[in-house]
Chain A
Amino acid sequence: MAELDTSGGGKHKGGKIRSKKASTRVDLTAMVDLAFLLITFFMLTTTLSKKKAMDLAMPDNSVQKSQLPVAASRSMTILLGSHNKIEWYMGEAGKSAPNVDNYGKGGLRKALIDNGKAVAESHTAPDNFMIVLIKPSDKSTYENLVTTLDEMSITNVQSYAIVKILPFEVDDLKKNNLY
């Protein structure tokens, strides 16, 4: 099929009649066609990219363990509001006005790094790491939560927890049109 006869016709002038040697070449065209067809099929049906994930460890609320007293000035609270905006404040609620910020490099990440540095400078080691409380409101999305958790790992915040949001914090979000 893929081979044209180029022998140029018979020239049998006398001489011995030889039996024609059969070619040992096998035509592989059809086989290659089939192989590539199957490759295409398997390539399209497989998932080459493996699923990636992030770890999340929640605190165990069911048993009251001995809880360490922690200075309120070391804690940073992040409220996740709607419209991809956040509010954060340092220390106890109500003592300082919350800052409205957005996710991303110039927003949350900068705030985390700056506050982390400030806490590390104003407290004595080894208890000078910042504690971050993440409080997602009902209007925040799952993406917001994952982004925030991701920022924790990017900025190397060692201790953080997802905490239930309190009613007055929701009111505060409402005041800023983030709920």
Chain B
Amino acid sequence: MPRVKVARKSTFIDMTAMCDVAFLLLTFFILTAKPKVDDPTKAEVPFSSKEKLVPEDNLAMVTVGNINGKSTIFYSVTGSDIRAEALKAMGEKYSISFTPTEINKFSLLEVFGVPIANLKQYLDLSIEDRKGFQQTGIPADTTASNELGNWIYLSRQADRGLHGKDLELAIKGDRKEEYPAINTVISVLAKQKIFKFNLITDLRAAPKK
């Protein structure tokens, strides 16, 4: 009597479809990728029920966060060309000459919070060393001429000159930040006749009425 032979099946799995899907997803993620910007203040934004989207480009953002118990102002503006142009103008205003390497480094800097006097020193640090650097924030007060005001003013001017657009303004503040710190930023903007701006918030589920 012959032995019954069990037919051995191939263990090969057809991966073509899986491969297709994987690459499709990969393409999607590559195309939609926008690297996360590390927020040095770790500001937790308050909730609201508004759903307005913040523009992705053409935006200047003032972040007010708490570092070591002190409210610290950080500034970021989109577009490396605007940043480079703004730095040149700031250098002229405060008579600090920045080298082309420093301007180039600055144009790649997404967000910063150091006074202009310390900016050169900060830019010369390597990216690893910058993480350990204690950023003291951009000085701001309610007078007509202060560093934060000049940064915003000169960025707006740069944007006008380069793209012919008006820069949109946004304020990102930590929930627990006390009102005077926010009020300073608002009055800096008001000095430049910016009366309309965005407050960055997290979406809260729509309230039930």
Contacts and interface: CB of A to CB of B under 8 A. Distances in A.
Interface stretch (B98-106, B131-139, B149-157, B177-185): B177-185
A140 B179 contact: yes
Contacts of B207: 105, 154
Contacts of B182: 142, 145
B15 A61 contact: no
Interface in B13-28: 13, 15-16, 18-19, 22-23, 25-26
A146 B29 contact: no
Q: Is the interface of B mostly helix, strand, loop or mixed?
A: mixed
Interface stretch (B43-51, B82-90, B122-130, B158-166): B43-51
B195 interface: yes
Contacts of B36: 45-47
Contact of A52 (B18, B26, B197, B202): B202
B201 A54 contact: yes
Contacts of A149: 48, 199
B49 A153 contact: yes
18 contacts: A2-B11, A35-B25, A36-B22, A38-B26, A46-B32, A46-B36, A47-B34, A50-B56, A53-B54, A53-B200, A54-B52, A62-B190, A138-B178, A140-B179, A141-B175, A146-B199, A150-B201, A153-B49
A4 to B, nearest CB: 5
B196 A53 contact: no
A53 B180 contact: no
B3 interface: no
Given A28-B15, A28-B16, A141-B179, A54 B25 contact: no
Contacts of A153: 49-50
B94 interface: no
Interface of A: 2-4, 6, 8, 25, 27-29, 31-32, 35-36, 38-39, 42-43, 45-48, 50-62, 80, 105, 136-147, 149-150, 153-154
Contact of A45 (B33, B51, B200): B33
Interface of B: 8-13, 15-16, 18-19, 22-23, 25-26, 29-30, 32-36, 46-54, 56, 64, 170, 173-183, 186, 189-190, 193, 195-203, 207
Contacts of B25: 35, 39
B29 A56 contact: no
B195 A145 contact: no
B190 A61 contact: yes
